[in-house]
Amino acid sequence: MSDAAPLKQPNWFSRLAHPGEFLRWSKPMLWPLGIATAMLFAIGLYMALFVSPGTSDNVGPTLRILYMHVPNAWLSQMVYAVMAVAALGTLIWRHPLADVANKAAAPLGAAFTALALYTGALWGRPTWGTFWEWDGRMTSTLVLLLIYLGIIALWRAFDDQLRAGRIVAVVTLVGAINIPIIKFSVDWWQTLHQGSSVLVSGGPRMAPEILATLLVMVVAFTLLFAMLQIVSIRTEIFRRRADAMSRQAAAGGRTA
């Protein structure tokens, strides 16, 4: 009778994160996510155009721009938070998909941040009289965009993606200090941006129609990110498999 301890079976999380298993369970999610995203965008646009007022006392006639600006600003920070968690997965847990998730999220985060800056400039010109002001939130958001672009450049600078993943993970965690700066910049420094209008004591400081429309658009954009992130991860897995097969074929040709 053998005294050897039985092999430890991988837990459900490890199995779920295996690239092959991820490809299996993620594919059926794409169509439902796409349909839900399209429906929420349709509902949100209808509410923005026909339910929500076109102006408000606090914002003025540029109110509808916020239905694009706020979701993109939210995702600019949320996507980076996802990347920070993935960086921890790379450095601490050696998660097999952590660096893939980090790499897949970076271009999406950069796009959402650029859209947040662009829509913010469109809103700021008629509201503040300027497209740009070097206040705390706008400047720290611009820094966030530069961090995203730097991370994308780092990924492309290395042929060895495993080595790149560890370096990028460290850079991602260092850059995460900018997220609380963005969040609390309106409290720490004099800024053109107003404070929070939703998560405040006493309840939201906006009309119910505006709040409902804003929440629908935030959820729609968040589902859009989830769908694009899954597609990007799947694409990166296939790309790495193709690169591995190419290297194996090249090595076989040299030894033949």
118 within domain boundaries: yes
183 within domain boundaries: yes
249 within domain boundaries: no
Which one is predicted more confidently, 119 or 187? Answer: 119
In the prediction, which pLDDT does 243 show? 81
> Which residue, among 42, 84, 95, 85, has the nearest Cα to 216 in the 3D structure?
42
Q: What average pLDDT does the segment 96-119 reach?
A: 95
2 within domain boundaries: no
- Residues 66-77 pLDDT 10s: 899 999 999 999
Mean pLDDT of the chain: 86
- Residues 187-227 pLDDT 10s: 777 666 665 666 555 556 677 888 899 999 999 999 999 99
In the prediction, which pLDDT does 52 show? 82
Q: Given pLDDT bands bounded at 50, 70 and 90, which one contains residue 7? A: very low
Q: Is the pLDDT of residue 254 over 90?
A: no
In the prediction, which pLDDT does 175 show? 97
**CA-to-CA distance for 30 and 106, rounded, in angstroms?**
20
250 within domain boundaries: no
- Residues ≥6 apart with Cβ < 8 Å to 10: none
**pTM exceeding 0.85:** yes
> Which residue, among 136, 145, 150, 83, has the nearest Cα to 113 in the 3D structure?
145
36 within domain boundaries: yes
Give first-to-last CA distance, the chain, whole Å: 46
Which one is predicted more confidently, 56 or 46? Answer: 46
Q: What is the DSSP letter of 8?
A: P
What percentage of the chain exceeds 70 in pLDDT? Answer: 82
In the prediction, which pLDDT does 196 show? 62
Q: Is the pLDDT of residue 88 over 90?
A: yes
138 within domain boundaries: yes
256 within domain boundaries: no
In the prediction, which pLDDT does 2 show? 47
In the prediction, which pLDDT does 1 show? 44
- What's the structural domain count of the chain? 1
Which one is predicted more confidently, 195 or 119? Answer: 119
Q: Residue 179 sits in which domain range?
A: 30-244
In the prediction, which pLDDT does 135 show? 85
